[in-house]
Amino acid sequence: MYLSFDIGGTNMRLATSSDGETFAGSKIIPTPKDFNEGMKTLKQTADELSHGEKIIGIAGGVAGPLDKEKTMLVTSPHIPGWINKPLKTELETVFDCKVILENDTATGGIGEAVKGAGIGKEIVGYIAIGTGVGGKRIVNGKISNDSFNFEPGHQIIVPDGNLCNCGGKGHMEAYVSGSYFEKMYGQKGEDITDPKIWDEISRYLAISLVNTTVHWTPDIIILGGGVSKSIPLEKVKTYLSEFLTIFPQAPEVVKATLGHDAGLYGALYLLTNN
* Site track 105-144 with Zn ion (rule: CB under 5 A), x = hit: ----------------------------------------
Closest Cα to residue 164, out of 184, 148, 136, 150?
184
- 121 vs 171 by CB, closer to Zn ion: 171
Q: Which helix (H) or strand (E) holds 40?
A: helix 35-50
Minimum CB distance to Zn ion, residue 13 (Å): 28
- 154 vs 203 by CB, closer to Zn ion: 154
- 151 vs 200 by CB, closer to Zn ion: 151
User: Which residues, numbered 141-180, are part of the site for Zn ion (CB under 5 A)?
Assistant: 154, 164, 166, 168, 171
> Between the CA of residue 178 and those of 172, 185, 189, 222, what are the distances in Å?
12, 10, 6, 18
- 121 vs 154 by CB, closer to Zn ion: 154
Reduced to 3 states, what is the DSSP secondary structure of residue 56?
coil
Reduced to 3 states, what is the DSSP secondary structure of residue 121?
coil
Minimum CB distance to Zn ion, residue 152 (Å): 10
Which strands sit side by side in the sheet containing 133-139, from one edge to the other? 142-143, 133-139, 123-129, 220-224, 252-255
- 56 vs 166 by CB, closer to Zn ion: 166
Q: Which helix (H) or strand (E) holds 221?
A: strand 220-224
Minimum CB distance to Zn ion, residue 155 (Å): 9
Minimum CB distance to Zn ion, residue 146 (Å): 17
Residue ranges binding Zn ion (CB under 5 A): 154, 164, 166, 168, 171
